[in-house]
Structure 1
Amino acid sequence: MIESALQPLTALMGYVIPALLVLTVVVFVHELGHFLVARWCGIRVAAFSIGFGRELFGFNDRNGTRWKISMIPLGGYVRFEGDENVASLPDAEALAQVPQERRAGLFHFAPLWRRAAVVAAGPAANFLLAIAVFAALFATLGKPITVPRADMVMPGSPAEQAGILPGDRIIAIDGNSIRSFSEIQRIVTLAAGEPLTITVDRDGEEIDIAATPERREVSDGFGGTQRVGVLGISRNMTADDVVFETYGPVAAVGEGVRETWAIVERTMTYIGRLFQGRETADQLSGPVRVAQVSGVVASSGGAVGLINLIAILSVSIGLLNLFPVPMLDGGHLVFYAIEAIRGRPLSARAQEYGFRIGFALVLMLFVFVTFNDIVKISGI
């Protein structure tokens, strides 16, 4: 009786703890990027927080920065002296009253290039974290390479209709060299309805085949489904089919950069197709989905799986923050670009309205992706 009552709590903790671990690492590195570059630029930092809301516990360092853990563990922030809020929206009236001798070290009085560097440092730190994680994994455990061979071709599938035969080895798609079966999946999933030129090796002869993936609902491997492009080919996986290719330190970093860029490219391709009406927005996910995936990865892939998830999520967070939306780092950079062109910043009222619009957009996105997550998990 007690065990059955504790099962829901145990299951919940199995998702919450891994998710908090993943999010905390990614957020900490992002904010640490802002913090370190701010310190390097001589800008005073008032607070470094993991989470939002009421402080749970914290301490002051020798430079006066308050390091703290806050109640709502969905993000974090670095607040500079002179900020009105955690979005770095300046209090124009308060700043105007700051004596000239105290302006040194305040973020909003720093030269434009320093402010831009501080803002860009957060996303940059996320990309560097992902590259470092991928490089470490490829240098130690190796990068999994699966021979890109079509062992099975589903009847009536786009692959069969195009003329792909069992045993064909796919060596290129649209001129892009293919080394692993996973690379086929990356391209095909976001190419529903788009004709692809697939080059296969058939008994030593290279043949170009035109095939158009079709959209189907398939399992995402985490208890849910997703609608993606499929060709209709699969592998008969055996222990000998996966080779873990290890790299030296320099080559591993290069592979880490390529893996990071592949995630960026895949994300931007999806967003582009979304605006063109060729993808659906119900594939977007949020924190609930992150929790679910973290729990599944922790139970099946262990520490290595979670580390890999940290790298993937770090790229996503870094890229998201570069979007030109006020409230996000990209929005700040847009304001700075305008300031550089005009020779003076936008008015305080224009910036305030911009941040209000940005906050509304971010809030709507959060509600939308959370709704998507709930629908996927509940199977509605």
Structure 2
Amino acid sequence: MQASGWLAYAVVIEVAIKLPNADPLRTDLLHLLVDVVTGIAVSFGLRAIYLRSWSFHLLWRFSLGIGGIVIGSSFWTYMKWISLLALQGQPGFYISWYDFGTWQLASVGILLAWTGSYFGIKYYLLLQRENRRTYEAMAQAKEAQIRMLHYQLSPHFMFNALNSISTLVHLEQNKSAATMLDQLAKFLRYSLDIDPLALIPLQMEVEAMQNYLSIEQTRFGDRLAVEFQIEPEVAQALVPSMLLQPLVENVIKYVISPSIDGGKIAIAAKAESDSLVITVVDDGPGIAEGANGEVNISGGIGLQNIASRLDTLFGNRGSIDLSNLPQGGAQVRLCIPLQYGHSKVVA
């Protein structure tokens, strides 16, 4: 920018001022060279002053800047004046103080413009740096939050699964316990290998849930019925990993387990406009409603966890809603942006 700016200055001075005055070419070019070289030297001097005063109070910085411009413009004008006198070499040739003052004002104006450009660029770069630091800090906080929410599920699930295995062992159902341990190992391998920041194909998440439900069916047998209705066109849509497990676990805990006859879980997914809608429906007694007939997610850590993850990942483009169905049972409805591609990390 220095080179471009001073080249433009030289062209303007040569074309607009020197050529119309018909100065001898050699004198004209030599004086222009002195003019530009001195201007560049003064600008580097101002830059050194501005860099040293950057940590000073604003008033001191402003005062040093004004002082540097006045002194620098005076030196610049003086060099142009004496160089022109020396190059002309004609008896009686002189430059009036009016001309000197005109040159001085021009020098001040140019250095003010240079100073304005310098500080404008400087503040712009600082702003970009601060924006980048803010973005990086937000990304790190977001990553930490997602990881915390993801791994918060593991101890909760592990407690329930191991408690079920312990029950099977106490009932001397060793074969069922061994099968459940094998299924648990597969599911845990999935939950630990998947990056908590990753968006994965819905089909992969569904397969993990099928494995999870097979663990629970070892425990509940015919009391647990499961139905999947995944539309083929959304099978490869990307979803947060471990999105369905807390929902299914809630149904098992509050609907299947307390009931003698058990119950049914229906998991469905479809596209609605530019959104992926996933529903988890049960045939239980429904969810307790508040004083205003509203159903909220404040009662369960799993549902709060999902709400927090969706908000962190998608903002207002992600939502979770609970409702009681007219025919009985409850529905959890998840809505996230519909997107495809390979598994990717969101941070």
Normalising by structure 1, we get a TM-score of 0.22
* Greater relative contact order (CA < 8 Å, ≥ 6 in sequence): 1
Higher strand share: 1
- The TM-score with structure 2 as length reference comes to 0.23
Structure 1 or 2, whichever has the larger Rg, is: 2
